[in-house]
Structure 1
């Protein structure tokens, strides 16, 4: 009897748990048994491995009993990544290659019938886990650049099974793959200077970028809501190396390209017909959703009330926690979801409520039902709620351009530097530290309490007002927010009137 144990890692989510491929050869009834909760693609590996070994010129032990165990037994295995370690396990167990040659190596890759190695999904999380474990990584050449992003990791790419065996036998060593630091992408061509007018909306966009706040634009069709939202990534700072790795790991699990988007903040814009699973992730085999693909970037939801209300409500927890927990009967996953929500909506079903260009044809009941699709708890989590009105023709045709994205980005970076010294973005600053940073006077607290009572704002909305006011102070270079910043912050709660307030935020703030 012969036994071979090969260590590999499974990129089944963003984590890469170690899986031991145990191959046992015995003199029982000839055949091959695969155990360890393999799904269909893994069970079919027996045929791919047999054909690959024979076509690569190696012996397949047809006359012996082959038992392959994928441990741990309670972890479901999926994908073709186990083909290469299974093939190597058979070669070690049949003494065609020495077991010592695999020490300190992680192996993964899908095998074609002729022995070629095909790319897999999730190579970057595996590479990061192998780096932490202090092991080298042997994988398909198509995944070499992706794995090398982990840095300080011995990556050995191969095109064919025969190259892998020659490397392990010391006959023709594979060259260790090196990747120069990926270059940052050029800034988006969408420039804020192209936006005509809409000064309050532009100001809100700058505040959102500076403090990491969620933002909602409300206004008639064609007023520039989507255009404004698409300019947000252009005024955000570039990703740090660690943040870029997190974003790349999520894209790797989802089988998306990495190097062409390296260092670029994600901008995801799902259609309003998206399901809850598509938005937050999940499925029978949990995968990241749109909110995770927007990690460290922007999630733009156009036509917000057109989304199913249940779909929108599932975002409430990740908006607060920055992660999403998905539980299934046999799976539990936790995906990162630290995204910035930007949404756009019309004021009514026809879109022309308050539009001077065209009268609204909706009844009050239709308007109320439409606006009620956004729950109070969800609106509480949106710091900036801004009206985007229709522009007069003279503003639309004016040759005068507004400030460019580069100019606005300089102010955003300066404000974020002040927040970095404070310890966190204002949108994520803990409550006690937020109160200490604002340091409101007794008169300001009394005034603010009266405003909260008039607007019927919740405790969460109160803290959102403080966060926005603190960001406004950071943009102004002031140590703490004063009455003007508090008034402006309350002015951005323009949709709170939909929940029963009789006075608009602007009217109350102007007291």
Structure 2
């Protein structure tokens, strides 16, 4: 006698069907498991055996030879994902008349079993359901606590259970033993921090708008009282709202990390914001291949990554940042596992101008040598990844009673229009933002006249920028042209882009 139950292997945001084949043959009681080491008969199989004995169906683990074949033989890295499939396969092979094989066709079973038969939630439910949909499956059974999360995936039938016995009853033909997702109202318009809360900072506000429109990484440098962190927090509100598919992708990453909020869930349109302290390790940014847990870079996908006090980041952390910021993807591996996750994020680097955190440069008490080393790191750290640099000195002489400050929604409309124009321009080349376009393609598409190129040539001759910086400055100039609705950057756009670049100085 045999039976087959299906679960999902989740690796990053992709997944593969996992089949559990149970064979029951006469003979002395024994158990043989063929599959990845994480599914071998130790704590997991002992837990499943206890749950089978507690399911209330009048029989326990079969007193015969039990052979479990788990394929493909690769680990998922998520503890407990396949417990329900293991138990159902064994019980369906034990009592084929009670659980007919056609009832299992097309069904994906996800969840961890407690020894008393309760079905417990696991992380990664959302990417697992997305992967099941991509493999043509239409019905997934999940723990009741994960019902709202799984229901985010459209065109899928999602059922929830709190006990193995309820799942077995449904498989036996009792259609009303499992729960269905409750209706969830549409989320309200984003009501987080708004750009209109910020007074002054005119130059920094403009830099945020350009960075958001073109996808350019930027750094903000200023005194401790400048409120650079508050500016960084408002950048996600300037980015275009997420589409439905982007929203699912953004939700899937915290689901994989086990940090998706509990309770009723709805599709989200706001961008993620992840703040990284300067003491963070490289592993905290990249994630873990062994446990399939994403790090800060992946959690900031399609949103903003704020690197606070960036000159103080450890060298290993800086090395870990470079390729993902360039490629928009995190790849981390160990001997047995490979984790690949998207990280198309906008990085904001912030730092105080000096070590003593003086409010003004004239009040700085740093020793000259220490001050020089700090400013060298301000200029050098991740400089090749940054297109915009602003030394922010907020104007404290006016603006206290100002009523004409723009809201995030007003700026977002201009940013969305600029991004739409850029996406249309680069669609055939596979790019969506100006910051991702290779320099050769950018120069080919935007040949500059002698007059337009003059500011760049002058900056190159004077050593204020490098050839690489000149190419990145052209990308920023194209973004500025997109913001004003032009098809080609003019001389004024290039001069403004040079100012935003900072002429090679922090």
TM-score exceeds 0.5: yes
SS at match of 1:56: coil
Residue 172 (structure 2) aligns with: 169
Which among 231, 236, 239 is matched to residue 234 of structure 2?
231
The answer to whether structure 1 residue 369 and structure 2 residue 373 are counterparts is yes
Residue 21 (structure 1) aligns with: 20
- How far apart, CA to CA, are the structure 2 residues paired with 1:76 and 1:265? 28
Pairwise CA distance, 1:223? 1.0
Residue 338 (structure 2) aligns with: 332
Distance change >3 Å, CA 102–CA 344, structure 1 → 2: same
C-alpha contact (below 8 Å) 1:12/1:78 kept by paired residues:
no
Pairwise CA distance, 1:272? 1.7
Pairwise CA distance, 1:93? 1.6
Greater shift, 100-109 or 396-405, is seen at 396-405
Residue 429 (structure 2) aligns with: none
Which among 101, 113, 116 is matched to residue 114 of structure 1?
116
Residue 504 (structure 2) aligns with: 496
Pairwise CA distance, 1:490? 0.7
Distance change >3 Å, CA 375–CA 97, structure 1 → 2: farther
Residue 87 (structure 1) aligns with: 87
Task: Show the 5 A alignment for 1:58-77.
Answer: 58=57, 59-75=59-75
Unaligned runs of 5+ in 1: 499-511
Pairwise CA distance, 1:277? 0.6
- How far apart, CA to CA, are the structure 2 residues paired with 1:377 and 1:302? 13
Greater shift, 413-422 or 68-77, is seen at 68-77
The answer to whether structure 1 residue 485 and structure 2 residue 493 are counterparts is yes
Structure 1-normalised TM-score? 0.89
- How far apart, CA to CA, are the structure 2 residues paired with 1:123 and 1:372? 46
- How far apart, CA to CA, are the structure 2 residues paired with 1:398 and 1:124? 48
Distance change >3 Å, CA 112–CA 264, structure 1 → 2: same
Structure 2-normalised TM-score? 0.90
Residue 382 (structure 2) aligns with: 378
Greater shift, 130-139 or 201-210, is seen at 130-139
Pairwise CA distance, 1:452? 2.1
- How far apart, CA to CA, are the structure 2 residues paired with 1:102 and 1:150? 21
Which among 247, 267, 270 is matched to residue 250 of structure 2?
247
Q: List structure 1 runs of 4+ shifted beyond 4 angstroms.
A: 173-176, 178-182, 374-377, 396-401
Which among 204, 208, 230 is matched to residue 207 of structure 2?
204
Pairwise CA distance, 1:447? 4.1
Pairwise CA distance, 1:177? 3.5
Residue 45 (structure 2) aligns with: 46
SS at match of 1:296: coil
The answer to whether structure 1 residue 460 and structure 2 residue 462 are counterparts is no
- How far apart, CA to CA, are the structure 2 residues paired with 1:261 and 1:226? 27
- How far apart, CA to CA, are the structure 2 residues paired with 1:198 and 1:477? 24
C-alpha contact (below 8 Å) 1:185/1:261 kept by paired residues:
no
Residue 315 (structure 1) aligns with: 321
Which among 293, 303, 315 is matched to residue 287 of structure 1?
293
Greater shift, 120-129 or 440-449, is seen at 440-449
Residue 501 (structure 1) aligns with: none
Greater shift, 407-416 or 71-80, is seen at 71-80
Pairwise CA distance, 1:408? 1.8
Residue 343 (structure 1) aligns with: 349
Pairwise CA distance, 1:6? 1.8
- How far apart, CA to CA, are the structure 1 residues paired with 2:483 and 2:77? 50
Pairwise CA distance, 1:385? 0.4
C-alpha contact (below 8 Å) 2:147/2:180 kept by paired residues:
yes
Residue 413 (structure 2) aligns with: 410
- How far apart, CA to CA, are the structure 2 residues paired with 1:375 and 1:22? 59
Greater shift, 321-330 or 171-180, is seen at 171-180
Pairwise CA distance, 1:105? 1.0
The answer to whether structure 1 residue 275 and structure 2 residue 278 are counterparts is no
Pairwise CA distance, 1:77? 5.5
- How far apart, CA to CA, are the structure 2 residues paired with 1:175 and 1:42? 29
Once the two structures are superposed, residues 426-458 of structure 1 have per-residue CA deviations (whole angstroms, 9 ceiling, x without a partner) of: 112343442244331133335422312323533
Pairwise CA distance, 1:68? 2.4
SS at match of 1:17: strand
- How far apart, CA to CA, are the structure 1 residues paired with 2:327 and 2:105? 40
Distance change >3 Å, CA 396–CA 360, structure 1 → 2: farther
SS at match of 1:395: coil
Distance change >3 Å, CA 301–CA 401, structure 1 → 2: farther
Task: Show the 5 A alignment for 1:100-179.
Answer: 100-135=102-137, 136-173=139-176, 177=180
SS at match of 2:154: coil
Task: Show the 5 A alignment for 1:427-438.
Answer: 427-438=435-446
Pairwise CA distance, 1:420? 2.8
SS at match of 2:355: coil
Once the two structures are superposed, residues 218-242 of structure 1 have per-residue CA deviations (whole angstroms, 9 ceiling, x without a partner) of: 1111112112111112222110111
C-alpha contact (below 8 Å) 2:17/2:132 kept by paired residues:
no
Once the two structures are superposed, residues 59-82 of structure 1 have per-residue CA deviations (whole angstroms, 9 ceiling, x without a partner) of: 124521223232222436641121
The answer to whether structure 1 residue 215 and structure 2 residue 218 are counterparts is yes
Greater shift, 97-106 or 53-62, is seen at 53-62
